[in-house]
Amino acid sequence: MIDDKAYQYICNLVYEYSRISLGDNKKELVAARLGKRLRAYNFQNYEEYCNLLSSPEGKEELVHLVDAISTNHTQFFREIKHFEFLRTIALPTWCSRLEKDNHNMNIWSAASSSGEEPYSLAIELSEFFSLKNGWSWQIEATDISTKILERALTGVYAADRVHEISPDVLRRYFQKGTKQWEGYFRVKQELRERIRFTNLNLLQASYPFTTPFHIIFCRNVMIYFDKPTQEELIDKLFHLTLPGGYLMIGHSESLTGIRHSFKPLRPAIYQRP
């Protein structure tokens, strides 16, 4: 079991690097998730692991630490109300605004995890723009976990991960695996190439984006941050959202009590005025 001193050191390190606030009630969770890291080095206790983290070689291990700590629960079309709003309100509104301007849609999945969210977005955009000539779109997908991004890049999912997708949509956008890949589905290349996956810490000093976004999905991330960090993040997202653009946060999250300049539209849906 991890002792208080080692746990506090790890909590402070994780917060400093990622702003994830673990709190006193996550000790068992942290110990369970870091068990593999101790076994990888054949360490007998967490003191040895903390010594590694504090050494010159610890910077590389810090990435593995955050990978292990990060929660990556997701699914296709999770929190469906957001996708319904995207389909019926956000995309039509932007299309009417951009009709006489450039025909390019820029969307960011800010906590893309294993890829289900950005691929769900890509399916929605592909369906919406299929009958609209001259339009282009792309999705930036970022996550702090390098390990989970590697999985997302493959676009490969077991059958139980795609079972809620309609057979029609599944045929159009996924390849069914055969032989050793039986029981798996892979997102088709024409959809995969619309998404750029990038490792990114949401609280880093600057982002590698040159243009702001029409729509940002940043869902189920703020629940791991303290209030000052939430305000800092929301301010960053505000300045990366085009005027009239939309921000989607998780349904278990809220901007109530946080200083921000977004206009609330619906539960977990905001707009930059």
| Distance (Å, whole) CA 35 – CA 45 | 10
Task: Report the first-to-last Cα separation within the chain, whole angstroms.
Answer: 50
Name the CA dihedral angle for 125, 160, 112, 127, rounded to a multiple of 10 degrees: 0
Q: Which residues are catalytic?
A: 33, 143
Q: How far is CA 90 from CA 9, 141, 191, 217, in A?
A: 44, 19, 21, 12
Q: What's the token pair of residue 213?
A: 């976004």
Residue type (1 letter), 142: T
Query: Which residue bears the tokens 């929190």?
Result: 79
**3 state SS of 198:** strand
Q: What's the token pair of residue 254?
A: 């809220």
| Distance (Å, whole) CA 96 – CA 98 | 6
Q: What's the token pair of residue 170?
A: 């599944």
Residue type (1 letter), 30: V
